[in-house]
Copies of this chain bind each other. A is one copy, B any other.
Amino acid sequence: MARAFPSVVIENLHPLIDGGRYPIKRIVGEDLVVEADIFKDGHDVVAASLKWRVLGKRAWRETPMNFVDNDRWRGVCTLYDEDIHEYTVEAWTDTFRSWQAEFAKKFEAGISDLRSEALEGAALIEAAARRARDRADRKRLSEFSQQISTGANSEIHAIARSGELEVLMATYPDRAAAAQYDPAPHVVVDRPAALIAAWYEFFPRSAEGRGDGGSTFRDCLPRVDDARAMGFDVIYFPPIHPIGHTNRKGRNNSTTYEPGEPGVPWAIGSEAGGHKAVEPSLGTLEDFDWLEKEVRKRAMEIALDFAINCSPDHPYVKEHPDWFYKRPDGTIKYAENPPKKYEDIYPLNFRCENWRELWAEMKSVVLFWAECGVRIFRVDNPHTKPVAFWEYLIRGVREKYPDTIFLSEAFTRPKMMKALAKAGFNQSYTYFTWRNSKRELIEYFTELTQTEMSEYFRPNLWTNTPDILPFVLQEGGPPAFMIRVALAATLSPLYGIYSGYELCENEALPGREEYLDSEKYQYKERDWNVPGNIKDWIARLNKIRKENRALQLYTNLRFHDADNDAILFYSKMTAARDNVILVVVNLDPHRKQNSFVYVPVESFGQMESDVYQVQDLLSGATYTWRGRRNYVELDPNIQPAHIFLVRR
């Protein structure tokens, strides 16, 4: 038989991922709303607390939970420490409230002999007096106990329901037999940049837009400043490590290359070093350090690419041949996705005999760059390595550098994308890049923001990447670029563009989503201020994001009706409703579209009349709207979206 037994049932705790196997995620200052079913046998009243603490710390913090409905209770706390926390629910029988309710029922039913009931109440209060830490409280409780044990029924009834006694009894409850939900699930509390940031990706070697040769780290500041002027927070570099020579790819992925062609940055490793070195043509580690600090000075930071690929020239190939896959003849296997071959890359075997050594070395690579000041890593193709490896690596790095952020670049099947997020990735690439229609966008973002995924999967929305020039951009021209970046910037607090986007670059290999003359394989000539660029549009979007708290929240996204299927209409607002944003986007880059949109006025809170003003933060224009149904018209060649601030 059990030594003790749970006095109260606590079930169906929410949020809870896979029964508590994986943590949920929050950023510093974010709320954690916890719900649970809490009940017990019989008619007693129960009480409950939400408890939380930094993992490994002794003392719990706590806040009372409130009854919602149907045995459901809810508590809310705010997490301020950038650390892993645990949270749980404690519940107990509220003996005072139970007595209070019973006494009231009997008194109101006109039962006159309540002597016994009075003495029971007095005893409960006297026991609380003994628990009271504050001397004045102790004294006051004893007085109450005395009054109740000797008073007339009507007096007792009044005292029992007095606010002062209720507060005192709630301050010193008898929790000796309290039950606790066990084991307590975890919540990873990240710094804000894990959820709120605008990313700008560029190749350092293309920083100056010269086609005849590479730029270095020392040449990157103008590009960084331009990104800063556009309002970006994170500068993300493709791999900066030495590029291999053996089987180096040429222009447009040619299997042969001409002298002077720079190779693919993802084919890592040469005589100049591996993952802990920098490509000599970009400069030195000192140059990188300098750049890293310059970027920090601008209140921005660099994200590095963590791509676990080795060129045949990588030092690992000689030093640790046992880490690679071998062919029966003893040679090392290159990467393949039959019939495609990647002769310039050797994949590592994460299940090799010496996997522990390999895993530890991989962790040491990330720690090396963390030591250099880098705290954001975009991880290349994590879905081709064991999920357990990422759980190990991310936990290990964050033990030393808790502010490190990992972005999962897994464009793969949905469950693997979720598994990587659960295993520890702080952010994830998404299918946004290919979601264009109204129905697709509503369906996908409802799943992302309104289901369990929102607890652990933070979408970083990319309009384009060096690997993906979506067809919508190839076909839709500059209006499509304005539409897609407006969606990315407002659907999630976290988004990114790959440079060239602001110039509306959209020349692709025919029938494919690959860039023509992609800078993955060559130096790229560009005029960063070419006429027709949309830098000002992007700058306005980022400014609006920074100035409106509602756009820095994530799960507050709500879609609303619009009559026209080309018009997407959604809102974001703060919990206090002091920042209400309405976004209207014309998804059709080719034609002017108009629609009635149905404004969620009922969620605006109290209004003096049904008339209100909406100020378009993109154009500055202000409109007077009335009630739910209002008219919009968007010409993609002028302005394909409104971002309205509601003014009451």
State the A residues within 8 Å of B (CB): 1-2, 5-7, 9, 11-12, 16, 18-20, 37, 39-43, 70-71, 102, 105-106, 109, 111, 116, 119-120, 123, 177, 327-329, 337-339, 350-351, 355-356, 359-360, 383-389, 392, 413-416, 419
Residues A360 and B329 in contact in the complex (CB < 8 Å), given A6-B388, A42-B384: no
Nearest chain B residue, comparing its CB with the CB of A422: B11
Q: Is the CB of A339 within 8 A of B111?
A: yes
Interface of A: prevailing SS: mixed
CA distance A41 to B389 in the complex (A): 11
Residues of B within 8 A of A116 (CB): 327-329
Nearest chain B residue, comparing its CB with the CB of A20: B19
Residues of B within 8 A of A389 (CB): 5
Q: Is the CB of B415 within 8 A of A328?
A: no
Nearest chain B residue, comparing its CB with the CB of A327: B116
Most interface-central of A71, A351, A387, A416 (chain B CB within 10 A): A387
Residues of B within 8 A of A359 (CB): 1
Report A205 CB to chain B, min CB distance, Å. Answer: 30
Residues of B within 8 A of A386 (CB): 5-7, 40-41
Residues A70 and B388 in contact in the complex (CB < 8 Å), given A41-B383, A351-B177: no
Residues A385 and B41 in contact in the complex (CB < 8 Å), given A106-B338, A328-B120: yes
Residues of B within 8 A of A177 (CB): 351
Given A102-B338, A116-B328, 15 further pairs, Cβ under 8 A:
A1-B359, A5-B386, A6-B386, A6-B388, A18-B19, A41-B383, A41-B384, A43-B337, A71-B415, A106-B338, A109-B338, A111-B339, A116-B327, A123-B328, A177-B351
Could you write out 24 A-B pairs with CB less than 8 Å apart?
Answer: A1-B359, A1-B392, A5-B355, A5-B392, A6-B386, A7-B351, A9-B415, A19-B19, A19-B20, A39-B415, A39-B416, A41-B384, A41-B416, A70-B415, A71-B413, A71-B415, A71-B416, A102-B338, A105-B339, A106-B338, A109-B338, A116-B327, A120-B327, A120-B328
Report A261 CB to chain B, min CB distance, Å. Answer: 27
Residues of B within 8 A of A71 (CB): 413, 415-416
Residues of B within 8 A of A413 (CB): 39, 70-71
Q: Is the CB of B11 within 8 A of A18?
A: yes
Q: Is the CB of B1 within 8 A of A328?
A: no
Report A176 CB to chain B, min CB distance, Å. Answer: 11
Q: Is the CB of B7 within 8 A of A18?
A: no
Nearest chain B residue, comparing its CB with the CB of A108: B339
Closest 3 CB pairs between A and B? A19-B19, A109-B339, A119-B328
Residues of B within 8 A of A384 (CB): 41-42
Residues of B within 8 A of A12 (CB): 18, 415
Q: Is the CB of A414 within 8 A of B111?
A: no
Contact of A39 among B2, B43, B327, B419 (CB under 8 A): B419
Residues A356 and B1 in contact in the complex (CB < 8 Å), given A109-B338, A337-B43, A413-B39: yes
Q: Is the CB of B105 within 8 A of A388?
A: no
Residues of B within 8 A of A39 (CB): 413, 415-416, 419
Report A352 CB to chain B, min CB distance, Å. Answer: 12
Nearest chain B residue, comparing its CB with the CB of A116: B327
CA distance A18 to B7 in the complex (A): 18
Residues of B within 8 A of A350 (CB): 41
Q: Is the CB of A360 within 8 A of B1?
A: yes
Residues of B within 8 A of A329 (CB): 116, 119
CA distance A635 to B42 in the complex (A): 45
CA distance A2 to B396 in the complex (A): 12
Residues of B within 8 A of A327 (CB): 116, 120
CA distance A47 to B211 in the complex (A): 50
CA distance A328 to B392 in the complex (A): 60
Q: Is the CB of B388 within 8 A of A2?
A: yes
Residues of B within 8 A of A109 (CB): 338-339
Q: Is the CB of A5 within 8 A of B388?
A: yes
Report A149 CB to chain B, min CB distance, Å. Answer: 9
CA distance A221 to B9 in the complex (A): 44
Report A15 CB to chain B, min CB distance, Å. Answer: 13
Report A92 CB to chain B, min CB distance, Å. Answer: 12
Nearest chain B residue, comparing its CB with the CB of A179: B388
CA distance A105 to B2 in the complex (A): 60
Residues of B within 8 A of A105 (CB): 338-339
Q: Is the CB of B18 within 8 A of A392?
A: no
Contact of A339 among B106, B338, B414, B416 (CB under 8 A): B106
CA distance A206 to B177 in the complex (A): 46
Contact of A387 among B18, B41, B385, B387 (CB under 8 A): B41
Report A48 CB to chain B, min CB distance, Å. Answer: 14
Residues of B within 8 A of A41 (CB): 350, 383-387, 416
